[in-house]
Amino acid sequence: MLGLFFGLVRYTEMSDNAMDQVQRYYKYFIDVQIMIFVGFGFLMTFMRRYSLGAVSLNYLASALMMLEAVLVIGATQQGFWNQKSSKIQIDIALLIDCSFCAGSGMIAFGAIIGKATPTQLLWLLVWQVPLYALNQHLVIHTFKALDMGGTIVIHLFGAYYGLAASLMLSWRQPLHGLDHPKNASSYLNDVFSMVGTLFLWIYWPSFNGALASVAPESLATATDAQKMSQFLCIVNTLLSLLGAVLSTFATSALVTGRLSMVHVQNSTLAGGVAMGAACTLRLTPGGALCVGLFAGCVSTLGFSYLTPFLDRTIGLGDTCGVHNLHGIPAIIGTLVAGLASLGQHSDYLMYGTGREQLGWEVLAGGVTLGIAVSGGLLGAWVVTALNLTRSEPMDVSELFDDGPWWEGQRVEPL
Amino acid sequence: MLGLFFGLVRYTEMSDNAMDQVQRYYKYFIDVQIMIFVGFGFLMTFMRRYSLGAVSLNYLASALMMLEAVLVIGATQQGFWNQKSSKIQIDIALLIDCSFCAGSGMIAFGAIIGKATPTQLLWLLVWQVPLYALNQHLVIHTFKALDMGGTIVIHLFGAYYGLAASLMLSWRQPLHGLDHPKNASSYLNDVFSMVGTLFLWIYWPSFNGALASVAPESLATATDAQKMSQFLCIVNTLLSLLGAVLSTFATSALVTGRLSMVHVQNSTLAGGVAMGAACTLRLTPGGALCVGLFAGCVSTLGFSYLTPFLDRTIGLGDTCGVHNLHGIPAIIGTLVAGLASLGQHSDYLMYGTGREQLGWEVLAGGVTLGIAVSGGLLGAWVVTALNLTRSEPMDVSELFDDGPWWEGQRVEPL
Amino acid sequence: MLGLFFGLVRYTEMSDNAMDQVQRYYKYFIDVQIMIFVGFGFLMTFMRRYSLGAVSLNYLASALMMLEAVLVIGATQQGFWNQKSSKIQIDIALLIDCSFCAGSGMIAFGAIIGKATPTQLLWLLVWQVPLYALNQHLVIHTFKALDMGGTIVIHLFGAYYGLAASLMLSWRQPLHGLDHPKNASSYLNDVFSMVGTLFLWIYWPSFNGALASVAPESLATATDAQKMSQFLCIVNTLLSLLGAVLSTFATSALVTGRLSMVHVQNSTLAGGVAMGAACTLRLTPGGALCVGLFAGCVSTLGFSYLTPFLDRTIGLGDTCGVHNLHGIPAIIGTLVAGLASLGQHSDYLMYGTGREQLGWEVLAGGVTLGIAVSGGLLGAWVVTALNLTRSEPMDVSELFDDGPWWEGQRVEPL
In chain B, % helix, strand, coil (3-state, to 5) comes to 70, 0, 25
Pairing of strands A9-11, A88-90: parallel
Q: Is B5 an 8 Å CB contact of chain A?
A: yes
Least CB-CB distance to B405: which of A224, A259, A290? A259
Residue B119 contacts A where some CB pair is shorter than 8 Å:
no
Distance CA C128, CA C376 (A): 8
In angstroms, the CA A400 to CA B177 distance is 41
Q: What is the pLDDT at residue A82?
A: 60
Rounded to an integer, what is the distance from CA B40 to the centroid of its chain?
Answer: 9
Distance of CA B139 to the CA centre of its chain: 15
- In which band, very low, low, confident or very high, does the pLDDT at A30 lie, cut at 50, 70 and 90? very high
Condensed to tens digits (0 to 9), the pLDDT of residues C61-72 reads: 999 999 999 999
CB pairs under 8 A between A and C: 133
A391 pLDDT band, cuts 50/70/90, is: confident
Chain segment A334-352, per-residue pLDDT in tens? 999 999 999 999 999 999 9
Q: Measured between CA atoms, how close is C21 to chain A, in angstroms?
A: 13
Q: Is the pLDDT of residue A70 over 90?
A: yes
> How many Å apart are CA A292 and CA C324, to the nearest integer?
47
Please give the average per-residue pLDDT across A124-140, as a whole number: 97
Q: Residue range C179-206: average pLDDT? A: 96
Question: CA Rg, chain C, in Å?
Answer: 21
Question: Given a cut of 90, is residue C96 above it in pLDDT?
Answer: yes
Q: Range with the lowest mean pLDDT among A397-401, B39-43, C106-110, C292-296?
A: A397-401
Which pTM value belongs to this model? 0.97
Residue length of chain A: 414
Minimum Cα–Cα distance from B238: chain C residue: C95
Rounded average pLDDT over B103-113: 97
Asked if C234 and A92 come within 8 Å (Cβ–Cβ), the reply is: yes
Distance CA A98, CA A153 (A): 12
Using an 8 Å Cβ cutoff, are A92 and A12 in contact?
no
Tell which residue, C290, C356, C302, has the closest CA to residue C328: C302
pLDDT category, A155, cuts 50, 70, 90? very high
* Chain C CB within 8 Å of residue A26 CB: yes
Q: Which residues of C touch A45 (CB under 8 A)?
A: 191
Judged against a pLDDT cut of 70, whether residue A199 lies above it is answered with yes
Scanning every residue of chain C, which has its alpha carbon at the shortest distance from the alpha carbon of A19?
A: C227
- A231 contacts B92? CB cut-off 8 A: yes
Residue to test with chain C: of A52, A97, A194, most C Cβ within 10 A: A52
pLDDT higher at A274 or A87: A274
Residue of C nearest to B227 (CA): C15
pLDDT exceeds cutoff 80 at C15: no
Identity of the residue in B67, B91, B118 whose CB atom sits nearest the CB atom of A242 = B67
- Mean pLDDT score, C212-228: 91
Question: What are residue C124's phi and psi, to 5 degrees?
Answer: -60, -40
Q: Which residues of B touch A243 (CB under 8 A)?
A: 67
Among C258, C262, C348, pick the best mutation site for testing chain A contact (most A Cβ within 10 A).
C258
Residues above pLDDT 90, as percent of chain A: 83
Q: What angle do CA B311, B314, B316 make, to 5 degrees?
A: 50
Q: Is B10 on the interface with A (CB under 8 A)?
A: yes
Is pLDDT at C29 greater than 90 in this prediction?
yes
Q: What mean pLDDT is predicted for residues B28-42?
A: 98
Q: Which of residues 204-233 of C touch A (CB under 8 A)?
A: 205-206, 209, 213-214, 219, 224, 227-228, 230-232
Q: What is the pLDDT of residues C102-140, one digit of tens each?
A: 999 999 999 999 999 999 999 999 999 999 999 999 999
Least confident window among B76-80, C28-32, C156-160: B76-80
Question: Is residue C265 scored above 80 in pLDDT?
Answer: yes
Report the C-alpha gap between B333 and B105 in whole angstroms. 19
In this predicted structure, the answer to whether residue C84 has a pLDDT above a threshold of 80 is no
Q: What is the mean pLDDT of residues C76-80?
A: 80
pLDDT at B214 over 70: yes
Contact list in A for residue B97 (CB cut-off 8 A) is: none
- For the segment A200-225, what is each residue's pLDDT rounded down to a tens digit? 999 999 999 999 999 888 888 999 99
Q: Which residues does residue A11 pair with via DSSP β-bridges, in sequence order?
A: A90
Report the DSSP beta bridge partners of residue C259.
A406
Band the pLDDT of B52: cuts 50, 70, 90.
Answer: very high
Kind and range of the H or E element at A90? strand A88-90
* Model pLDDT, residue A84: 62
Share of chain B above pLDDT 90, in %: 83
Rounded Cα distance, C29 and B204, in Å: 13
State how far the Cα of A11 lies from the Cα of A15, in Å rounded to an integer.
11
- pLDDT tens across B390-402, in order? 778 888 999 999 9
Amino acid at C347: D
Q: How much is the mean pLDDT over chain A? A: 94
pLDDT > 60? residue A309: yes
Question: Is the Cβ pair A198, B55 closer than 8 Å?
Answer: yes
Interface test with C, best of A55, A192, A409 (most C CBs within 10 A): A55
State whether residue B81 sits within 8 Å of chain A by CB. Answer: no
B254 contact partners, CB below 8 Å, separation of at least 6? none
Task: List, in order, residues 6 or more apart from A266 with CB less than 8 Å away.
Answer: A43, A197, A299, A303, A320, A321, A324, A325
pLDDT at C327 over 60: yes
* pLDDT given for residue A390 in this prediction: 79
Average pLDDT over residues A172-194: 92
Give B131-172 pLDDT, tens digit per residue: 999 999 999 999 999 999 999 999 999 999 999 999 999 887
Average pLDDT of the segment spanning A312-337: 96
> Considering CB atoms only, which of A188, A234, A258 is closest to B26?
A234
pLDDT at residue B79 is higher than 80:
no
Q: Which of A62, A88, A121, A407 to mutate to test the interface with C (most CBs of C within 10 A)?
A: A407
Instruction: List, in order, residues 6 or more apart from C327 with CB less than 8 Å away.
Output: C155, C156, C159, C160, C163
Given CB atoms, is C28 within the 8 Å cutoff of chain A? no
**Quick check: B286 and C7 CB within 8 A?**
yes
